[in-house]
Amino acid sequence: QSRIYRRGVLGHRPGVPFSPDRLREKAVRAMSTTARAYVDGGAGNGDTMRANRAAFDRWRIVPRMMRDTRERDQSVELFGRRLPSPFLTCPIGVAEMVHGEHDLAVARGARDAGVPMIVSTQASASTEQIAAELGDHERWYQLYWSSDDALVESFVRRAERAGCSAIVVTLDTTLLGWRTQDLDLGYLPFARGMGIAQYTADPVFRERVAERVANPPAEPGEPLPRPRPGAVRSLATLSRTYPGRTVDNLRSLEPRVAVETFLDLFSRQDLTWENLQWLTSRTSLPVLVKGIQHPDDAELAVGAGAAGVIVSNHGGRQVDGAVGSLDALPAVVERVGGRTTVLFDSGIRCAADAFKALALGADAVCIGRPWVYGLALGGAEGVRQVLEGFRAELDLTMALSGVTSIGEITAETLVRADPRP
C-alpha cells in the first residue's frame, strides 16, 4: 500500500476510484443501460442484495494495539497450493457487456494483481484463450451444469487441459433468477449471443448444433415477436457489429440455432447430490460447490465428494428475499469448517468486509462486482487496481488490527454490533 500512498503524495490521481461507493457510481454511469441492469441489478426487489451488505454491518473489528506487526503475511494455502492472498475473482459471465477486451482484460488484471481467476462458463472468451492470457497464473474453472453430460465432461476436460487447478460448480442457477431490471428492458444477454464463447468453442456443443441443423425440430418453437425498429435483428448482424469479438465465432455456426441450442443445454434442474458424486468421480481436480447457504447442504456436498463449499447467494441475483450471505456463513463453518475448505462471496466491497468473512471462518473470499466496475472504467488496468486495492487495504487492516497472518484473523477479532434500525 505504500506504493499507492506514495503515488498519491506525488499528486497522481487514480483513474479508478478506491472508494467503493464512488467506484460503483462512476462505473455504472459509464455503462450502457443494459449492462448496468445486468451487472448492478439483482433478483426481484433487490432485498437480498441489500441483506448481503447489511450482514457486514452486524460485525465490527476490534483492533489490538502494541503488537509487532512489521512482518505480515496474507498468503493462504488452498488444496495444497500457496496463494499470495485470500482473494480470488468471482466467476462473472458476459464481461463483453462492459468492456471490449472482456475476460482477456480480466485475466491480465488478475494476473498482474496476483489474484487467481475463476473462469466462468458464461465467459466472453474460451477457457483456452483466457489461459493463454494468464500464462502460468493460477486459475480455476466455474461450471454451469449443462443438461448434457457429454458437454459437462467436455468443459471439465478443457479446464483440466487449460491448467485450471479446481472446478467450481455453481448450484444456485438451475434457472436464471427473476432479474427484474433485465426483464424491464426486455433484455436477455444470452439470447443476443453474448457470453456463449465457451460453448461455441466446444467440440461437443458444435456437434449438438450440427445435429440441430441436420434435424430441425418438427414442432417449431413459439414464434418470436418482431424486433423493435433499431433493435439488433440477428446474431449475424451482431457478428458484423462486433468483428473479432465473441460472437464472431458464431459465423461458422447457424447463429440462431447456436443460441437456441445454448438455451436448451445451459442448465439442468433435476440435479441431486448423486450427480455431484458422478462429477467428483470424473475429475482428479478438487470440486467446490458454489451457492451454499444451509449447513445441511454443506454437509451433503462434503458427503458427495466436494473438496470445498462456497457460501454465496450469487450476489442476490437468484432468490430475492434470501438470507444475507454473511449471515449464512457461521453455521456452515460450524458444521463443515474443520473438514473442508470454505470460501465466501456476495457483498464484499472492501478489505474490511473480507476481514470479517475470514474472521467468521472463511478460508478465502471471492471478489465480484468491484472488479467488474474496475473493468468498465479501466480495462485490465482497472481490474488490477481494484484487486491490488483489496490486497493493500487488507494488509493495512491487518497491521492496524494487530494481526500478522490470515490464521490470526479469528472470531476473537470481531464483536457483534447492533443491526441498523
User: Which residues are near ligand FNR by CB under 6 A?
Assistant: 38-39, 90-93, 120, 122, 142, 170, 290, 312, 314-315, 317, 345-348, 368-369
Q: What is the DSSP letter of 61?
A: E
Q: Which is nearer to ligand FNR, 90 or 209 (CB)?
A: 90
- Rg of the Cα atoms in the chain: 21
CA–CA dist 45, 31 (Å, integer):
21
Question: Going by C-beta distance under 8 Å and a sequence separation of 6 or more, which residues neighbour residue 190?
Answer: 94, 122, 196, 259, 262, 263, 266
In the complex, what is the shortest distance from the CB of residue 213 to ligand FNR, in angstroms, rounded to a whole number?
Answer: 27
In the complex, what is the shortest distance from the CB of residue 372 to ligand FNR, in angstroms, rounded to a whole number?
Answer: 6
Q: Which is nearer to ligand FNR, 91 or 378 (CB)?
A: 91
Transcribe 200-257 into DSSP letters. Answer: HT-HHHHHHHHHHHHS--SS--PPPPPPPTTS---HHHHHHHSTTSGGGGGGGS-HHH
Question: Going by C-beta distance under 8 Å and a sequence separation of 6 or more, which residues neighbour residue 217?
Answer: none
In the complex, what is the shortest distance from the CB of residue 420 to ligand FNR, in angstroms, rounded to a whole number?
Answer: 18
**Identity of residue 156:** V
Q: Which is nearer to ligand FNR, 120 or 293 (CB)?
A: 120
**Could you count the other beta carbons within 10 Å of the beta carbon of residue 144?**
22
The full length of the chain comes to 421
In the complex, what is the shortest distance from the CB of residue 357 to ligand FNR, in angstroms, rounded to a whole number?
Answer: 11
- Per-residue CA distances from 411 to 62, 78, 115, 214, 355 (Å): 10, 20, 25, 60, 10
Q: Which is nearer to ligand FNR, 375 or 403 (CB)?
A: 375
Q: Is 222 exposed, middle or buried (0-12, 13-18, 19+ CB in 10 A)?
A: exposed
Query: For this structure, is 314 an active site residue?
Result: yes
Q: Which is nearer to ligand FNR, 90 or 257 (CB)?
A: 90
Q: What is the DSSP letter of 340?
A: S
In the complex, what is the shortest distance from the CB of residue 177 to ligand FNR, in angstroms, rounded to a whole number?
Answer: 10
Question: Catalytic pick from 99, 102, 137, 314?
Answer: 314
The residue number with the shortest CB distance to ligand FNR is 368
Active-site positions read: 314
